[in-house]
Structure 1
Amino acid sequence: MSPVPDSSDDGFGGALLPGARPAVLVIDLMRAYFDPASPLCLPSADCLPSAGRVIAAARDHRVPVLHTRVAYGPGGVDGGLFVRKVTALRQLFSGGGAMGELMPQVSPAENELVLVKQYASAFFGTSLASTLRAERIDTVVLIGVSTSGCVRATAVDAIQHGFVPLVVSEAVADRAPGPHEASLYDLQAKYAEVISEARAVAYLSEER
C-alpha cells in the first residue's frame, strides 16, 4: 500500500507549502521504543539513522531542534486515563529511569529544548506552541515515534495551531507496517506533507 494518495481529485491531499522558518521536532526517540526489554519496543530501529541525518542538517544550518520525551510522576498521577489504556506506559512512572532516556544517536545538544509530555501530542499540556511562536517558526519537521500515535497526534495539532507539518517518512516508525503506512496515507491526505529524508535535508539546508 502506498503511503501517499495519488491525487487531490477527491478533495483530499492538497499541498501545504513549507515556510521560511522551520524547526525540527524530535518526538519521543526514547530507549523504551528500542530496548527489547520494553513492551513498547519497535520491530526495527531503522528510523534512528534517518532521524540523525535530519537533525544534523538542521544543526548545520542553524535550524532549531526541539525534543520530546514521555515521563510521569509517581504512580502515573499525571497520566490520567491514557496510562490506564496503554499499560506499557507504566514503565515511565517516576520519570521513567533508563527507559525514559533519549537515544544516543539523536541526543539533544546542550542548547536544545527537551519538552516532557504525558499524552500523545507534543502540543498537549506543554509550552511547545508558545515556544515556536516566540521564535516565529512557521513549519515543523516531524521525526520520531510512533507514526500512528504521537507523530500523528502532533501533526494534527500542528496544523490546528497554524504550523505546516512535514512528516519525514524514513525517520518515523511504528509497531507494525499496517498502522505506519495507513497513518502516513491519512496524514498526507488531511493533515501534513509526508516527505522523504532527502527532501527534508534539502529544505533544511536552504539559505535563510
Structure 2
Amino acid sequence: MSSELSTDLAANYAQGQFAGRLPWGRRAALIVIDFCIAYLEPGSPLYAAAEPARDATARLLGAARASGVPVLHTEVRYQPGGLDGGVFYRKVPALRCFEAGSRLAAPPPELAPLPGETIVTKQYASAFFGTSLASTLTALGVDTVVLTGVSTSGCVRATAVDACQHGFLPFVCRDAVGDRHPAPHEANLFDLQAKYAEVVSEAFVLERFAAIGKAAA
C-alpha cells in the first residue's frame, strides 16, 4: 500500500465514497449475540475481557424490555465432537467451549433470556446462516436490528453483514460489543461503519428505545 493511500484512513474512505448513512427504520429489535461465560471468565480460551460490553448490553436489554422492543438472543451449540460445526469447528479449537453441556456456553445471569424471548441456536458465525432469524424478524415486522455481543470481529461482524444482505438495517452498538484485542475490534467497527452498518453509541440506542416506549404509551 502506498504511503499516499495510508496517510489518512478516514479521508481515503470518504474520498472513495464510503461515507453513506443508513436511517433508523420503522420497527427495531435488539439482538444479543453469543454473550456467554466463555467470553467473561479468565482462563477460558475465548476470554475477551468483555465485562464493559456485558454491562452495556444489560442496560440495553432493560431499556428494550421496558419499551416493548423485541429481544432475540443467539447461542452457539455443537453436538459432542462438533461434527455439526464443520470446517469452522475444525479451524477454531476454542469452539469446543460450545459443545452441548459446557458450562462456558451459558449466558451470564444478567443477560439470561426471559420467558418468551426468542433464542436462535447456530453453529457458524452469522446468526442468519442456517437459522430462522430472518423469517422471525420479518414475521415481527422488524426492519432495524441493534446488535450487541461478542466477538466484534467474528459473530457480530458476520451477523451485521448478513443483516445488510437480508435487507435489515444493522446498528452495531459500539459500547456493547467486545473482542479479544483492541486492534481487530476497532478495525472491524471502522469497516462495518464504512460498508455495511451504522456503528452507534449506547446513548444513541437508549434514546431510540425511550422514544419507542413513549410512542407506545
Per the normalisation by structure 2, the TM-score is: 0.90
- Using the TM superposition, name which of 162-171 and 27-36 deviates more: 27-36
Note if contact 1:169-1:195 (Cα within 8 Å) is conserved in structure 2: yes
**Residue in structure 2 matched with residue 175 of structure 1 by the alignment:** 180
Question: Which residue type is aligned with residue 164 of structure 1?
Answer: L
- Which of 52, 57, 63 is residue 63 of structure 2 equivalent to? 57
> Cα offset for 1:61?
0.6
**Residue in structure 2 matched with residue 18 of structure 1 by the alignment:** 24
**Residue in structure 2 matched with residue 110 of structure 1 by the alignment:** 115
Establish whether residue 156 from structure 1 lines up as the match of residue 161 from structure 2.
yes
Question: Which residue type is aligned with residue 97 of structure 1?
Answer: S
C-alpha distance in 1 between matches for 2:26 and 2:208: 10
What value does the CA root-mean-square deviation take over the aligned residues?
Answer: 1.4
Establish whether residue 205 from structure 1 lines up as the match of residue 210 from structure 2.
yes
C-alpha distance in 2 between matches for 1:69 and 1:195: 23
- Which of 22, 41, 45 is residue 35 of structure 1 equivalent to? 41
Q: 1:176 to 1:80 in 2, by over 3 A?
A: same
> Cα offset for 1:43?
2.8
Establish whether residue 120 from structure 1 lines up as the match of residue 119 from structure 2.
no
Regions of 4+ moved over 4 Å: 4-7
**Secondary structure of 1:67's aligned partner:** strand
Which sections of structure 2, spanning at least 5 residues, go unmatched?
1-8
**Secondary structure of 1:26's aligned partner:** strand
**Residue in structure 1 matched with residue 4 of structure 2 by the alignment:** none
Establish whether residue 192 from structure 1 lines up as the match of residue 197 from structure 2.
yes
Q: Write out aligned runs for 1:71-110 (5 A).
A: 71-93=77-99, 95-110=100-115
Q: 1:182 to 1:168 in 2, by over 3 A?
A: same
Q: Percent identity?
A: 53
User: Which structure carries more helix by proportion?
Assistant: 2
C-alpha distance in 2 between matches for 1:131 and 1:42: 30
Which sections of structure 1, spanning at least 5 residues, go unmatched?
none
C-alpha distance in 1 between matches for 2:129 and 2:10: 28
Per the normalisation by structure 1, the TM-score is: 0.94
**Secondary structure of 1:80's aligned partner:** helix
Question: Which residue type is aligned with residue 63 of structure 2?
Answer: A
> Cα offset for 1:107?
1.0
> Cα offset for 1:84?
0.7
C-alpha distance in 2 between matches for 1:54 and 1:122: 19
Note if contact 1:5-1:188 (Cα within 8 Å) is conserved in structure 2: no
Note if contact 1:71-1:96 (Cα within 8 Å) is conserved in structure 2: no
Question: Which residue type is aligned with residue 41 of structure 1?
Answer: Y
C-alpha distance in 1 between matches for 2:77 and 2:69: 26
> Cα offset for 1:20?
1.4
**Secondary structure of 1:79's aligned partner:** helix
**Secondary structure of 1:11's aligned partner:** coil
Higher relative contact order (CA 8 A, sep 6+): 1
Question: How many pairs align?
Answer: 204
> Cα offset for 1:105?
1.6
C-alpha distance in 2 between matches for 1:96 and 1:160: 33
